[in-house]
Each structure stands twice: as structure tokens, then as C-alpha cells.
Structure 1
Amino acid sequence: MSVYNQPRRRVIQMIMIGMILLIVARLFVLQVVEKKYAKLADANAVSRKVVYPSRGIIFDRKGKSILGNDAMYDLVVIPANAKNIDTAYLCQILNIDKEEYKKRMLTAILKNGRVRQSVFAPLLPPEVFGRLQESMYLFQPGFELVQRQIRSYPYAAAASILGYIGEISPQLLDNEAYKAYQMGDYLGLTGLEKTYENVLMGQRGIQYLVKDNLNRPQGPYENGEFDSAAVAGKNLRLSLDIELQVLGENLMKNKIGSIVAIDPTTGGILAMVSSPTFDPNLLTGSYRSANFSRLYQDTTKPLFNRALQARYPPGSTFKPMIALVALDEGVITPSYGYPCGGAYYGCSRPIRCTHSGGGHAANLRLALANSCNSYFSHVYRLSVDAQKFGGIKIGGMQKWADYMHAFGFGHRIGVDVPGENGGLIPDSAFYNRRYKGSWNSCTSVFLGIGQGEVLLTPLQMANAMCIVANKGYYYIPHFVRSIDNDDTDLLAKYKEKHVVAHISDSAYQTVINGMTDVIERGTGRKAAIEGVRVGGKTGTAENKAIINGVLTAQKDHSMFVAFAPADNPKIAIAVVVENAGFGATYAAPIASLMMEKYLKDSIPAKRNPVVKFLLEANTIPPAMQQKSKLDSLNRKAAATLKNGAGGRTFR
């Protein structure tokens, strides 16, 4: 053999010897040094049990727990092990027949295979669990009881904010993002439960139990040496004021619409009401799926979060933003006036309004206080037709749209609950598509009064009031203020100040003065609060719907936006009440009561007539309400909660 081949042979021999030594060393560690695997392999009577952690609690801004955890049990099955058991007795305990037993077993096999665990009977009522627990040895090793944490809601409020939890689906299990979950695990499906799932879920533990010859647990294996403890989820601390939230939900009862209240100094959301709403206890426990179907099919759409997802023409609540753009572009000054005699005559046909006579739009403050449509129609046209932008088609329309985007319109703001809608702000491309290039400022003149194509969410309207109140900046609206024992930067983006570029403080102050005039001597006097200077703007938004293929005018939406105190704002608010007419009728007094409750922690007795009027008012269209089952569902949930069952067992 060539001398040149000998070094190569030695290298190969050394590699093989090294591999053999590595295998021997590993076997030595497993069999001699590390006894865990050997013991577990030898202990045929040892069962492995997953210990689910306590899910994190959610607290309001004052430290009140707005949801809690209750313990319930699932009956789970491994079909391959479910042999030679007393199925008749099991069916008797579960109150099902043999056909239902076979159906559930087949579903478990099809869903998760014969050798993997599946839920056979979820969230057992206490009486069923008690009977099963004392007889479980008759149904093992195929069946097992697994403890679950379910949510309970003592305030029966904030359903659309908190969200709900449910069993993970096979589709999510196939997603790489959910690789830490197993079939049968529960996770947040909507609301804060979904957004902060990784924080709230905690970490599962493992417990090894010794069983006797009848498969009955006898205690921990090796004194728990191989167990791993479950780690509880982290708690969330919200900016939400639960008492304010409850007040808002009560004021909006029998109405369709929304309330959004924000602390402008932080962006923390103080209340978010979507109405009609539902008792969150309906979506926890044994009948969650059945109740979800009822809510989903209800004519009032209680699962639709109108605060984030509904889009409305903002009406006259949009006028402060129109004024800010015009002031910043220099096309008007605060003293600019416009002669309105009951219509706007600047386009090809008169656009009628409710005003007549002169003087109500002699300057910007008066125009805001009196909500003059002609004034703001003209001011809008001055802005988009400005020659410094080359006119509306060259750059004026796009410049105006850029302002609107900076105000948080036309895109998602980034609130920390899922499902936010971005609304709609039309721009040059929008009108070019719609009108094939044949359009001008009269085509879009209704944007100046918050009508036409513009659509905003209540969240965007409230955030715009934060910008005005702060004179040019906002924080992304959010619910979670802090997370217990958390050292990540998960909340960092909500602490970043977003500045609306280059609009002067004097421009904002002019608009603020006009908005305080709205409350003190204008259209929003019903929103006045004794001893508090309030800035606000009423809105009456046209409401059109397609009925039988025809665009039909319906009753206007009542709208109101505000902030208070005007000189040192602590709350900004937007209220929308659908099909309720003038903004001053419903939206303004609702906003006033909400602001007073937050600022003074109470509502004086002399305002009881206003409270009574709002609590008794019903603005839901009769045809919609007659078909709705929501009230009966909520009453059952309230009765069950009062009786101490946590909303878990009613049908």
C-alpha cells in the first residue's frame, strides 16, 4: 500500500473511534448519570399530565379587576386507549346516548388522530364533573379530566375590548406562529386577549403521577422530582376606567353607535363603547359556541365593534380640521368672514343650508359656533384650489389629503385591539378613477362639511380631538398602560409622540376658541359642564343606505366631538348615535355626562332628568329591534351572574 494512503486511513479510523466514544458517553449519561429517562421508561404506571397556568388578570386604571379566572374541567380522550370501558355509564353521566358517543369519538379521530388527545366533553358543569371525578378509574386510560381556566366578568362590560378565549383550531396549529400550542389548548381569539396572548397565556407545566392497577392516581412520581411548574400569565394594567365604561354602555342602551374617550396626554383609552353590546359572560363556559352563533346572527350586530370598524361621514365634526388646514395654508385668517344667506352659491347650483340672514359667519369663531355649511364649503375650496399647489388637480387635492392623513384619517392608527378600519380619505387618484379626470373643487365640495366620500371611525374622530387639544400631537390610542413584571419594549410605540408638522399653536388656539364658543353660545350648549370650559363640535351626518337597489336617505346620525378642560385637556371624546337626528339631541349630552363623570368622579343630581331621558331613549329602528334576541340573552347572563354561576351554565 502506498505510504500516501496511510495518513488518510488514520484520519478515518480516528473519526470512527471518536463517534463510537461519543455514543458510548451519551449512553453512559442517559443510563447512569441521568436517571430521569430510565426511571420514566421503567415506570409503566406513571402518567404525564399537563398543568395549565393561571391566565393573566386584566385591571382597570384604578386597579379594579375587570375579569377573573374560574376553574372548570374538560373530559379529554385518546381514542386508541378508550377500550373495554363502561360506555353506557359514561353516557349516563354525560347525558348523551350511544349514537352521540360514537359521533364524538369519530370526530376526535378525524380531528386529531387515534393516538392524540382530543376534547370529548368541554367545560363540564359542576354536577357532571363531580360524578365523573369519583368514577374516573372506570374510564381510564382512554379518558382523563383536564382543568381549564375560563374567564368571568364581574362588571359584565367591555366585551368588544376584552375579547374572549377559546380552543385553538387545527388551522392555527398548522401555523408556525402557534408551534408552542397543542390540540385542546385555549388562547385569545379577539380583543386584548388576542393582542396580548403571549403575555397573558403563561407557561404550561408538567406533572408525573403514579397510578395503581385500576389507573387511579396515587400521588406524584419520585416526589415530583421530574415535574415542571406552571408559570402564571402576566397581568395587564389598563387606562380604561371601568365605571366610565359601564356608564357609557348604559347611556347607549337601545341605541346604535359608539363612544370613544381618550386621555390626550397619554393616548390611553378611557372608555370604548360599541352599541348594542353583549354581556361577555355569554362567551365563556359550556355554551360559548351556541351563544356566539346567536350573537353572530342577531340583527343588531353586537359582535361588530362600531368604535373601530364602523365608518361614518363625520358631518360638521369635521369642520375644525377643515379650518386648521385653511389657516395653515394661509388661504384664510381668523377674521375671515363669508356672507351666507341660506345657501352656498359658489358652484353651479345653490347648496341649501339651515341658516338665513347675515352675521353668523362673519369670522372663523362665529362660523364654528354656528356651524355654517356655506363658510366651510368655501374654505375647503380655497384650500384645494390654492395656486401655490397648482390648483386642485395638480397638487391641491393631494396636499389636502396629506393633511388628513397626518390627522390620523384614511389609515389605521394602530390601536392595540384587532379589527381596526382605516376609514376613507379621497385624494386625486380617487377622483381621477371615479370621474375619468373630469372633476374640480365643486365635485368634492361636500368634503368641506364632512359629507361626500369622507368616512371616519369613532376612534379616528376622538384621536383628532386629542390633536386639537394638544395643539398638534397625539399618542397612538391604546388600552394597556403597563404589564406586570415585564421588561420588554412591547408598549414602547404607545409612548412615542406623533407630531402633526408645521401647524402653528395660534392656528390651533383659534380653532379651540371657536369650539369653546360652540358650547358656550353655539350649537353644543347641551354639552356644557358647570365649572369646566369645554371645547366641542356638533355634527348631524346625512345617512344614506341602499334599499332594494336604490340609494335611500334615512334619518341622520347624531354626532359630537369634544375635549375638556379646554385649557388643560384630560379627556377627548367622540360620540356617534345612528339614526338619532341632530348632534345636540343625543350625542352632545351623552358626551357631556361622560366627561363630567370622568373629571368630577360623579354626576350631580340636577342632571338626573338628562340621564333619565337618555336611559329611556330608544333610537334603534323598530324592524331591527323586533327581530333581535340580544336583550333576552343579556338578561339571562345577568341573572346567571347574580346567582353566582358566572354565566357558564345557562342556555
Structure 2
Amino acid sequence: MPVYHQPRKRIILLIITALALLLIARLSYLQLVEKKYSRLADANAVFKKIIYPGRGLILDRHNRSILGNDILYDLMVTPSAVRNVDTAYLCRILQIDKTEFNSRIADAVRKNGKVRPSVFAGLLPAAVHSRLQEGMYLLQPGFELVPRPVRSYPYRAAANILGYIGEISPGMLKMERYADYQSGDYIGLAGLEKTYERVLMGQRGIQYIVKDNLNRPQGSLENGAYDTAAIAGKNLQLSLDIELQVLGEQLMHNKTGSIVAIDPATGGVLAMVSGPSFDPNLLTGTERTKNISQLLADSSRPFLNRGIQATYQPGSAMKPLTALAALDEGVITPAFGYPCRGGYFSCGRRIGCLHSDAGHADNLRLAMSHSCNAYFLHLYRLMVDSDKWGGVKKGHARWREYMASFGLGHRLGVDIPGEHPGIVADTAALNREYHGAWNSCSELYVGMGQGKVAVTPMQMANAMCIIANRGYYYTPHFVDHIDHADDTLLRRFREKHVVAHVSDTAYHSVVYGMEDVVAHGTGKGARIDGIAVCGKTGTAQNRGRVNGVVTDLKDHSVFVAFAPRDNPRIAIAVIVENAGTGALFAVPIANLMMEKYLRDSIPLAKRPMVERMMK
């Protein structure tokens, strides 16, 4: 071979070698580094079937299931596998047209791609599922019926407590805290379902099924070696008494307002009614979206949880707290009396009382039982004007500290979302209102629960727990314990909160004054034979806009109580909007709730009262 051919041969060899090395490098990259084609191959050969676990159950204090699981079916589609199926048959059963069929296929491709299954029709009614199951051979390959646990509510109650679940949204999937969820998963969106989502959700299972080149299932991948079993969610046991809750919702029928009942010994919520309410079964199944739209459009706002989200001026129901603050600061003693003659005149205007007879406010206990406005307005002024403060602003700040220690003006920390903090005006708010020039006459109404103070029913029920316990409370909560779980999530509900340093003597005077309210005062309708009930009625001022003008509307009916007086088992707050005095509606409702809980039944003699309240 001539010498001049050698360089050309070497060049050709170098080119071939370079191409071979390049090919080897590319193949190595694809095999060892790049996973895209491996994943596509797996997706074409192996079907990853999600096994949804049953969500945890929710039980009441007597182990009655108030929220369970039913099984509905999703019709799943794998777009790449859909070929030669009877689309007319499917459209006829689902009552859709071909355009809607194509739109759903396109949505499935956009969300999960062509080779992964997506929901084509979710939570099928039983009749639709039965018809599809009979003809599934007409829809294969490509379609499959997959079981899905959904919630059921046998008592049709406690909707605002339990909350609801729904499919996770695309926006939520982008959030880091939902990284372990995927499209099609259901998640708690309100109430206990949302707070305890991680406990209730359980753990999804996965089954890997091998497919042939025609996309037909051929059995489990390596006999199920890579499959994982679904793990059901943990159950919640509540402090709630579901029969008491149902009674409360019946009593609040055709009314707007709230009932909150708490066990003072534990802080466990026994019932929380928000009226008007709704059947939680409306938020499950195929009609869920339509029902939610109707509820959201309802002007009575059934989704508003009035027990923790609505605020009201407490009216005279706040007078026990005013008394405790004044007694503790030493500005009065239990024997302190006020010469009321039917009104309070010391601030240059008359503020009326219900009583004008002499002696009805000769001491704290009498003033409490007669609900003397003048007495408690004067207590507020005595406290904030005390010389020890060196000015009304410091005195009002001290009064506000007391109200905060009684649980007003801030969130208590109940274990469902959306709690409103309420309002107790501080000195900054009053400075803004009165441009810095104000005194104890400016906001003396707060002494009797009017003016710049607004509370939730939960806060008032918790305040009754404090008085019932003579100075302490536990954070109100619904979940008593979680099955097969440690106590970490619930630890904060076991901590006792001791209120300031109010003396036993102060509590004694207030408690017995509240007992007199029920024994022979404005709360006589709350009496229960053989049980000492302590309570306080209230008529809360209600102002609103009518045709754009702020107007005095019909007052709210308020009653707060606890029973028995010693070793109390229930504390309760009832507010019925636009219902007049506390004695008209709030007192009888509280009476029936307390008797039902303490005696486990309502006597026949009170059946007419039940019927009247339900009408």
C-alpha cells in the first residue's frame, strides 16, 4: 500500500472510533442518567393502580359513629388505551354527548398525560355504576371502574363541626405542604376534616399491573413484590354528644344563632349548633358541587359557623365578669350596694334599668339576680377610675386585661379553623374613637356587655367554664383522643389555664348571684328539679343598616349558664338573633339542652316546650 494512503486510513479510523465512543456515551447516558425514556417504557408496560384507603371514622363520646365511609366508584380512563370502545353506549349512560366525551379525554391528557389513568366520571350514582358494570366489556381497553371511599353522615347533623372533603385543586398541588398528594386525591377542606387531615387520610396503596403490547392487563408485576397495601386513616373520638347536638339543631330550627355547650372539667365541646344549619350529606356524592353552590347562594349563610365565627354584644350575660374584675381589684366587696331608682344618671344621661323598687341592688348578689344595669355600669367606672391607676386609660387597660384572662378579645384555640378573636376595645381604639379625649363615661356600657365589646358564643361558654371551675379552664376542643396515636396533637388541650388571681370569695358571690337568677329571677325558665342551675340572661342590643341607615333592630336573646352549681358538668351559651329578651328563647333552649345532657332525657312535661321551640 502506498505511503500517501496511510493518513486517510487513520482519519477514517479516528472518525469511526469517535462515532462509536459518542454512541456508547449516549447509550450510557440514556441507561444510567436520563430516566425519561425508562419512565415512558415503564408506563407503557406497567399500570400503576392507586388503592385509596378508607378515611378514619369520627365517633362521639359514646362511641357512636357520626361520620363513616361508603363506597362509590370513579370511572377512570387511560387515553392512550382507548380504541374501538362503544362511545355511544358510554355517552348514553352518562348522559353526555360526543363533544363532552372528547373534552373529558382532552382534560385527562392535559392533567396526567396519555398513558396514566385519570378520572373520567367521578363518584358515580349506584344506578349508573350498575349499568356501566354490566357493559364494561364494551369500554375496554381504556376504561376501568375504581372504588372510592366517600363520607356518609347517619345523624345528618354537625355539618359545621365535621367539615367536608373534596378533590385537591391544581393550586393546592403546587404548594410544598401538599407535595405527597396527587391529582384526583380527596382532602379535608373544612372543620375537623381539615384540622386532622393528616390523621384521617391514611396512606394510599399501589398495585403494579403488567400490560401487554395491546394494553391488556397480564397480572401483577413480579407477583406483587412491589405492591404496597393501603393503610386506613385513624379514627377520632370526640367529646361531642351527637344526641345533644341533634336536639340543639332541632331547637334552632327556623332560627338564626348558636348554642355552645362545654364540659367544664375537660374543655371538651359537648355540642356546637350554628343555625341555620344543613345536612352534611349534601356535600358528598355526585350532587356535591351543585349543592355547595346553592348553599353559598343562600342569604341565611348556612356555611357561617356562628359558634366561633359570629360575634355578638353579650349584654347582661357579661355582668358576672364585670363583677369578678371589680371584686378582685378590691374596688367593691360582696356587700357593696348602689341606690338604683330605675336608672343610671351619673354621666349626664339616663340609662334605664328593669327594676325601680328600692333595695334591688343593695348588694352584689341582689344586683346580679335583678340584673341591675346601673349597678354594673357603676362597677366599671369604679374600677377604671380607681386612684391606684393614675388615670382612666391605665384603668381601662387593666379592665381589658381581666377580660382577656376570661377568654375575650382573642382566639381560644379551638381545633377547627376559622375562629374569630372577638372584640374588646383597648385604649388605642378608644383614643381613635374619641380623639384622645375620653373618660369612664365614654364607654361605661361595656360594664353591662354593650358598647365596644363583641364575643363569640364559644367565648361566652368558655367564660362560664371559668366561673363554674372557680378560676380555670381548658382550651375548648372537639377531639378527645385519636385511636392508635400518641398524644402530641392533643397535648395543648390538657393544659390547665388558671385565670389571674380572683379569690374564692369573689367567685362565691357571683356564683350564688347567678343561682338566684335562675331560682327567682329573669332565668326562672332554666330551672331543673333537683339540680342547682346558675345562669345569666341577656338582651343584646342589635344595630344594623336598613336602606343604608344604621337602625336599632330587634334585640338578640342571650342566656349563659352552668350546672350543677357544685361539681359542674355542663356550661352553655345560647344566642338567638332578633328574638327579644333572653327569657323568650335562649333560656328555654338552654334548659332543654342541660336537662337532656344531665338526665339523658327530657321529661314529658317539657315536651310542649320542645315543640314550641322547634316551630
TM-score past 0.5 threshold:
yes
Quick one: which amino acid aligns to residue 411 of structure 1? H
SS at match of 1:536: strand
Counterpart CA distance in 2 for 1:115 and 1:379 is 75
Quick one: which amino acid aligns to residue 94 of structure 1? L
Partner of 1:20: none
State the Cα distance separating 1:107 from its structure 2 match.
3.9
Question: What is the Cα-based RMSD across aligned positions, in Å?
Answer: 2.3
Partner of 2:599: 600
State the Cα distance separating 1:550 from its structure 2 match.
0.7
Partner of 1:100: 100
Counterpart CA distance in 2 for 1:100 and 1:40 is 28
Mapping of 1:415-434 within 5 angstroms?
A: 415-434=414-433
State the Cα distance separating 1:506 from its structure 2 match.
1.2
Partner of 1:439: 438
SS at match of 1:182: coil
Partner of 1:633: none
Partner of 1:479: 478
State the Cα distance separating 1:354 from its structure 2 match.
2.5
Q: Does 1:315 align with 2:315?
A: yes
Partner of 1:299: 299
Identity %: 64
Counterpart CA distance in 1 for 2:111 and 2:442 is 57
* More off after superposition, 88-97 vs 444-453: 88-97
* More off after superposition, 498-507 vs 476-485: 498-507
Counterpart CA distance in 2 for 1:374 and 1:209 is 79
Counterpart CA distance in 2 for 1:449 and 1:345 is 15
SS at match of 2:374: helix
Q: Does 1:368 align with 2:368?
A: yes
Partner of 1:546: 545
Query: 1:295-335: per-residue Cα shift (whole Å, max 9, x none)?
Result: 11112111111101010000000000000000011111101
Residue 445 to residue 114, structure 1, CA distance change in 2 (3 Å): farther
Partner of 1:19: none
Q: Does 1:89 align with 2:94?
A: no
Partner of 1:160: 160
Is the CA contact (8 Å cut-off) linking 1:140 and 1:215 kept in structure 2?
no
Partner of 1:564: 563
* More off after superposition, 350-359 vs 277-286: 350-359
Residue 556 to residue 42, structure 1, CA distance change in 2 (3 Å): closer
Counterpart CA distance in 2 for 1:224 and 1:280 is 39
State the Cα distance separating 1:128 from its structure 2 match.
1.9
Gaps in structure 2 of 5+ consecutive residues: 1-27, 33-37
Partner of 2:521: 522
Partner of 2:25: none
Quick one: which amino acid aligns to residue 568 of structure 1? N
Is the CA contact (8 Å cut-off) linking 1:137 and 1:214 kept in structure 2?
no
Query: 1:582-603: per-residue Cα shift (whole Å, max 9, x none)?
Result: 1011101111111111111111
Mapping of 1:347-386 within 5 angstroms?
A: 347-386=347-386
State the Cα distance separating 1:171 from its structure 2 match.
0.9
Is the CA contact (8 Å cut-off) linking 2:94 and 2:128 kept in structure 1?
yes
Counterpart CA distance in 1 for 2:605 and 2:361 is 34
Query: 1:605-632: per-residue Cα shift (whole Å, max 9, x none)?
Result: 111222222122xxxxxxxxxxxxxxxx
Residue 112 to residue 409, structure 1, CA distance change in 2 (3 Å): farther
SS at match of 2:453: coil
SS at match of 2:308: helix
State the Cα distance separating 1:391 from its structure 2 match.
2.0
Partner of 1:448: 447
Quick one: which amino acid aligns to residue 279 of structure 1? D
TM-score after normalising by structure 1:
0.86
Counterpart CA distance in 2 for 1:259 and 1:565 is 18
Partner of 2:224: 224
TM-score after normalising by structure 2:
0.91
Query: 1:142-163: per-residue Cα shift (whole Å, max 9, x none)?
Result: 4333321101111111111011
Quick one: which amino acid aligns to residue 245 of structure 1? Q
State the Cα distance separating 1:569 from its structure 2 match.
0.5
Number of matched pairs:
583
* More off after superposition, 430-439 vs 477-486: 430-439
* More off after superposition, 48-57 vs 111-120: 111-120
Mapping of 1:120-139 within 5 angstroms?
A: 120-136=120-136, 138-139=138-139
Gaps in structure 1 of 5+ consecutive residues: 1-23, 29-37, 617-651
Query: 1:455-508: per-residue Cα shift (whole Å, max 9, x none)?
Result: 000000000000000111100000000000002511000000111111111111
Q: Does 1:413 align with 2:412?
A: yes
Counterpart CA distance in 2 for 1:266 and 1:447 is 30
Counterpart CA distance in 2 for 1:573 and 1:100 is 53
Is the CA contact (8 Å cut-off) linking 1:538 and 1:588 kept in structure 2?
yes
SS at match of 2:206: strand
Q: Does 1:248 align with 2:251?
A: no
Structure number with bigger Rg: 2
Quick one: which amino acid aligns to residue 569 of structure 2? K
Query: 1:499-549: per-residue Cα shift (whole Å, max 9, x none)?
Result: 111111111111101100101111101000000001100001111111222
Mapping of 1:266-305 within 5 angstroms?
A: 266-305=266-305
SS at match of 2:539: strand
Residue 426 to residue 171, structure 1, CA distance change in 2 (3 Å): same
SS at match of 1:147: strand
Residue 215 to residue 412, structure 1, CA distance change in 2 (3 Å): same
Counterpart CA distance in 2 for 1:39 and 1:459 is 54
Query: 1:79-104: per-residue Cα shift (whole Å, max 9, x none)?
Result: 45545543323212211111222333
Residue 446 to residue 601, structure 1, CA distance change in 2 (3 Å): same
Partner of 1:611: 610
SS at match of 1:552: strand
Query: 1:404-444: per-residue Cα shift (whole Å, max 9, x none)?
Result: 11111111100001111111000100101121101111110
Q: Does 1:459 align with 2:458?
A: yes
* More off after superposition, 224-233 vs 185-194: 224-233
Is the CA contact (8 Å cut-off) linking 1:40 and 1:46 kept in structure 2?
no
Is the CA contact (8 Å cut-off) linking 1:542 and 1:557 kept in structure 2?
yes
* More off after superposition, 352-361 vs 293-302: 352-361
SS at match of 1:309: coil
Counterpart CA distance in 1 for 2:582 and 2:346 is 27
SS at match of 2:123: coil
Quick one: which amino acid aligns to residue 342 of structure 1? G
* More off after superposition, 84-93 vs 282-291: 84-93
Counterpart CA distance in 2 for 1:79 and 1:436 is 69
Counterpart CA distance in 2 for 1:160 and 1:442 is 40
Partner of 1:182: 182
Residue 119 to residue 142, structure 1, CA distance change in 2 (3 Å): same
State the Cα distance separating 1:204 from its structure 2 match.
0.5
Counterpart CA distance in 2 for 1:59 and 1:473 is 28
Partner of 2:508: 509
Partner of 1:401: 400
Quick one: which amino acid aligns to residue 593 of structure 1? L
Partner of 2:53: 53
State the Cα distance separating 1:114 from its structure 2 match.
5.2
Is the CA contact (8 Å cut-off) linking 1:559 and 1:587 kept in structure 2?
yes
Quick one: which amino acid aligns to residue 578 of structure 1? E
Residue 590 to residue 222, structure 1, CA distance change in 2 (3 Å): same
Is the CA contact (8 Å cut-off) linking 1:117 and 1:183 kept in structure 2?
no
SS at match of 1:306: coil
Partner of 1:492: 491
Residue 226 to residue 528, structure 1, CA distance change in 2 (3 Å): same
Is the CA contact (8 Å cut-off) linking 2:43 and 2:115 kept in structure 1?
no
Counterpart CA distance in 1 for 2:59 and 2:41 is 45
Query: 1:216-269: per-residue Cα shift (whole Å, max 9, x none)?
Result: 546434332221100010000100000111111111111111100000000000
Is the CA contact (8 Å cut-off) linking 2:141 and 2:216 kept in structure 1?
no
Partner of 1:195: 195
Counterpart CA distance in 1 for 2:39 and 2:410 is 59
Mapping of 1:111-150 within 5 angstroms?
A: 117-136=117-136, 138-140=138-140, 142-150=142-150
Counterpart CA distance in 2 for 1:351 and 1:111 is 66
